[in-house]
Structure 1
Amino acid sequence: MIGKAALIDVIAGTNRGLLATDLQKQAILAAIANLEDLNPTPRPVEASNLLNGNWRLLYTTSKALLNLDRIPFCKLGQIYQCIQVETKSVYNIAEIYGLPYLEGLVSVAAKFEPVSGRRVQVKFERSIIGLQRLIEYNSPATFIQQIESGKKFPAVDFPINSDTQQGWLDITYIDDNLRIGRGNEGSVFVLSKA
């Protein structure tokens, strides 16, 4: 698909948005809008077979995520989102790199509730921030299994008041390996199946 290839091409070299110039940002948003018009899945939230699984962030305008790269001596590594449709769970995991042996992890667990064919309400429940070595982080899948088993980590591990910490996300494009979302704070997310 030409629109999809164009989006991937214009995102290349921006390091998920960290290195995007204003001109690139405009071109990326235009490519996203063009691709959204070609969405092959009219009701993305109901396409659980497409939505379910592990996703890797390719591009975002989210300042909350991009600012993780501004922590002194740290660089933002891969960012993953795991969606489990059956349990209506979503896990966001950002890997942080920097000084040797001080690789970190920022993770948020949430529940989602479909409110329309393309919108989900998201309620954040738990945040885990710590060193990868101390929490024995190997992969997003293993880490999520540990969270679901109720494991407490030697990290900053705390519940989030879901009454105050919530938002929504519109899924504006989804196919077998690409997803685009727009959040309540105006952020755009482009992810590929991991």
Structure 2
Amino acid sequence: MLVKGDLLQAIASKNIGISATKIEKQAIASLVARLEGYNPNPNPLEVPHLLDGNWRLLYTTSRELLGLNNIPLAKLGNIYQCVRIKNAKIYNIAELSGLPYLAAILSVCARFEPQNSQRVNVKFERAISGFQNILGYQSPEQFIDRIESGKNYRFGAIDFLIPDGNQQGWLDITYLDDNLRIGRGNEGSIFILDKVS
């Protein structure tokens, strides 16, 4: 699809949105709106096999996520959103690189509840952060498997439950195909992700 190719080309060199200018952000937002008009799955929650899996963030306008690049002595790497339909959970994982042996991750675990066929309410429940080598981090899949098996990171990490009522919102899934997902959050942010095989 031509619009999808144009969008992917427009975001390709924008470092998930960090280096996008105001004019480029407007052009990308226009392409996003056009592609949403061609959504092959207008009811994405009715095709859970497409939604389920690990997604890598390609581009966002979220100030919160883009602000992770401002952490001293760290450089933002990949950000993943891993959807587990069976457990109604979402795992957001940001990888940070830095000085040797100082690569870190920031992770937030959330529960989601469908509000309609396109929107999910999200309630953040747990945050985990620490150095990758201390946490034994190898990949999002391995990290999530350890969390789901009941692993607590008491030593060498910050691991805490997020109190009820704090950190909740919603996400509209406005485009979904076999390998691309677009979402719009409650703060007006755009998220473009590709599926990791």
TM-score range, shorter chain: over 0.9
The residue correspondences of 1:1-150 to structure 2 (distance < 5 A) are 1-150=1-150
Q: Which runs of 4+ in 1 moved over 2 A?
A: none
- C-alpha deviation, 1:165, in angstroms: 1.7
| 2:97 alignment partner AA | Y
Residue of 188, 191, 194 corresponding to 1:189: 191
What is the match of residue 156 of structure 1? 158
Distance 2:118 2:164 in 1: 21
Give unmatched runs, 5+ long, in structure 1: none
Q: Provide Cα deviations, 1:65-115, integer angstroms capped at 9, x if missing partner.
A: 111100111100000111011110110000001111000100000110000
What is the match of residue 182 of structure 2? 180
Specify the SS of the correspondent of 1:17. coil
- C-alpha deviation, 1:136, in angstroms: 0.5
Distance 1:174 1:31 in 2: 15
Distance 1:19 1:162 in 2: 35
> With structure 1 as the length reference, what TM-score do the two structures score?
0.98
Distance 1:145 1:59 in 2: 26
Q: Give percent identity, aligned residues only.
A: 57
Distance 2:40 2:143 in 1: 32
CA-atom RMSD, angstroms? 0.7
- C-alpha deviation, 1:164, in angstroms: 2.2
Q: Provide Cα deviations, 1:29-79, integer angstroms capped at 9, x if missing partner.
A: 011000001101120122101100010000001111111100111100000
Distance 1:116 1:65 in 2: 26
- C-alpha deviation, 1:162, in angstroms: 3.4
Specify the SS of the correspondent of 1:96. strand
Q: Which moved more, 1:145-154 or 1:12-21?
A: 145-154
Q: How many residues align?
A: 194
- C-alpha deviation, 1:163, in angstroms: 2.0
Distance 1:12 1:141 in 2: 25
Distance 1:149 1:124 in 2: 19
Specify the SS of the correspondent of 2:31. helix
> With structure 2 as the length reference, what TM-score do the two structures score?
0.97
